[in-house]
């Protein structure tokens, strides 16, 4: 760290791979580095320090992590390149072989200045201690974004058979409600009107302090933060979506009617082999109850195709469930075997070509679902937060239910919230015209 600080204005470039939690962690790292005198640069070519925040949820993610390290070195051979994140926990040696000069783990992100000052090449393993929440950093907000992420939970103890994350993020840990509220208030004071609540396993919020099913309580508390216009939830495990949870979200004026649910399958036999804690009947009942409370939900779902032993009929069962359910879009993942997980011992691995075909089938279905979701909103009024100017004609943003919206470029500024009328729609966007004055 001392060598990096020898220049008057050391510059850092951050490369982030993987989930929304990693995006939050990257901003946490940037917040700490800014306090040490660093300024952020958008290119590795201009950086004194390059940090690669990796993912290890799939083999492809790990390959991207190694490639990101090598790319940084090609662009800037004199920069100090360090790697962190889930791949650092699982495969530090491979990151060193790719060219990283230092590797540190997920818990070590919480004290990046002292990590960088230490000459030790590999610093991992903090996830294995049983300490409660230790991250004292209040992030500045995600760079260049109109919304901010708020991490209120980390780690997981659920042990799904396909998932390596518990070994890479450690046991579940919870940010106390009062501290979550304090951090949300700071973000609102900095001008953020939308906060996205995130975690590795949000549904387990409170489990580490013997407060099961505490997620509705923290949602209710955050919804009361003065000046907050929108509260959006990250992915929530289906077994945690109780009637109380749905009432809390549906009846809040601040919480967005948007759920992202990692269903993973629509077949009971597959769910059992995955060690998921629900049945398809439970999923159907949950969705039915949600729509009794309100009818404007946007509901996304994660699906894993080709889990070991998944037959063609079981895949079709999942497909039929999705087609019959009020789902707005899918995130589809071909099964990727992770060393150290129980799924590696299961029989019935599918050929790559069949995995790809099943994934493509569901992605085509997702396209149709999203088109229908968007077209159902034609003629309605939607509240949108303008996020970026992606073309010469439109500003892009999201409605409260997470529908993608394109707005005329001359009627709203980035960061503003406005009401719009939906004139037409396709699978990509709601195309809108403004109603009234922006706020």
The answer to whether residue 9 scores a pLDDT higher than 70 is yes
Task: Tell me whether domains 130-256 and 381-435 share a fold.
Answer: no
**Considering the entire predicted model, what is its pTM?**
0.91
CATH 2.40.50.140 corresponds to the domain 381-435: yes
What are the DSSP calls for 378-419, one per residue?
A: TT-EEEEEEEEE-SSSEEEEEETT--EEEEETTS--TT-EEE
Position 269 confidence tier, pLDDT thresholds 50, 70, 90: very high
**Phi, psi of 42, deg, nearest 5:** -80, -5
| Domain range 4-128, CATH architecture | 3-Layer(aba) Sandwich (3.40)
- Scored b (16 or more CB within 10 A) or e, 246-269 reads bebbbebebbbbbbbbbbbbbbbe
Q: Is the pLDDT of residue 84 over 90?
A: yes
- Sign of the alpha-carbon torsion through 219, 225, 228, 229: positive
Q: Looking at 207-360, which runs of residues are DSSP E strands?
A: 230-233, 258-264, 298-305, 329-334
The CATH number for 130-256, chosen from 3.30.750.210, 3.40.50.620, 1.10.10.10, 3.20.20.150, is 3.30.750.210
Residue 185 has pLDDT above 90, yes or no: yes
Lowest mean pLDDT among 118-132, 209-223, 337-351: 118-132
152-174 mean pLDDT? 92
d(CA 369, CA 362): 10
Look at 410 and 349; give whichever has higher pLDDT.
349
Q: What is the pLDDT averaged over residues 232-260?
A: 97
How is the chain split into domains, by residue range?
4-128, 130-256, 381-435
pLDDT exceeding 90 applies to what percent of the chain? 80
**Beta-strand relationship, 430-435 and 404-408:** parallel
Bridge partners (DSSP) listed for residue 153:
174, 199
Mean pLDDT across the stretch 167-195? 93
Candidates 29, 236, 24, 30; CA nearest to 150 is 24
Q: Is residue 281 a contact partner of residue 321, using CB atoms and an 8 Å limit?
A: no
Q: What is the pLDDT of residues 374-425, one digit of tens each?
A: 999 999 999 999 988 777 789 999 999 999 999 998 888 888 899 999 999 9
Q: What is the pLDDT of residue 239?
A: 93
pLDDT attached to residue 437: 46
Question: Which tokens in the block code for residue 223?
Answer: 């919804």
Q: What is the mean pLDDT of the chain?
A: 92
pLDDT at 140 over 80: no
What was the pLDDT predicted at 229?
A: 95
């Amino acid at each position: 760290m001392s060598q990096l600080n020898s220049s008057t204005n050391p510059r850092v470039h951050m490369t982030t791979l993987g989930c929304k939690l990693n995006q939050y962690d990257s901003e946490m790292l940037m917040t700490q580095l800014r306090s040490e005198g660093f300024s952020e640069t958008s290119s590795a070519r201009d950086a004194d320090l390059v940090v690669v925040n990796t993912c290890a949820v799939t083999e492809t993610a790990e390959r991207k992590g190694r490639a990101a390290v090598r790319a940084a070195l090609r662009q800037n051979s004199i920069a100090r390149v360090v790697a962190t994140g889930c791949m650092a926990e699982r495969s530090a040696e491979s990151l060193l072989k790719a060219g990283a000069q230092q590797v540190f783990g997920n818990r070590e992100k919480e004290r990046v200045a002292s990590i960088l000052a230490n000459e030790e090449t590999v610093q991992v393993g903090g996830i294995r201690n049983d300490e409660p929440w230790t991250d004292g950093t209040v992030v500045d907000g995600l760079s260049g974004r109109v919304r901010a992420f708020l991490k209120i939970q980390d780690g997981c103890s659920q042990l799904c058979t396909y998932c390596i994350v518990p070994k890479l993020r450690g046991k579940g840990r919870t940010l106390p409600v009062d501290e979550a509220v304090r951090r949300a208030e700071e973000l609102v004071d900095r001008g953020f009107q939308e906060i996205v609540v995130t975690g590795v396993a949000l549904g387990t919020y409170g489990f580490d302090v013997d407060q099961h099913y505490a997620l509705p309580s923290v949602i209710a508390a955050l919804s009361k933060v003065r000046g907050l216009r929108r509260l959006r939830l990250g992915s929530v495990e289906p077994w945690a979506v109780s009637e109380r949870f749905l009432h809390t979200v549906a009846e809040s004026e601040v919480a967005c009617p948007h759920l992202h649910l990692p269903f993973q399958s629509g077949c009971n036999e597959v769910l059992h082999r995955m060690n998921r804690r629900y049945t398809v009947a439970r999923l159907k009942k949950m969705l039915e109850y949600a729509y009794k409370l309100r009818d404007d939900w946007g509901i996304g779902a994660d699906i894993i195709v080709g889990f070991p032993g998944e037959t063609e009929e079981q895949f079709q069962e999942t497909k039929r469930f999705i087609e019959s359910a009020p789902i707005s879009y899918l995130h589809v993942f071909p099964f990727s075997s992770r060393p150290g997980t129980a799924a590696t011992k299961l029989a019935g691995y599918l050929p790559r070509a069949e995995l790809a075909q099943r994934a493509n089938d569901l992605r085509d279905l997702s396209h149709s679902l999203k088109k229908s979701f968007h077209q159902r909103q034609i003629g309605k009024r939607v509240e949108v937060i303008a996020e970026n100017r992606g073309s010469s004609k439109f500003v892009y943003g999201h409605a409260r239910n997470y529908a993608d919206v394109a707005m005329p470029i001359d009627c709203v500024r980035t960061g503003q919230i406005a009401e719009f009328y939906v004139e037409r729609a396709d699978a990509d966007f709601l195309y809108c015209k403004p109603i009234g004055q922006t706020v």
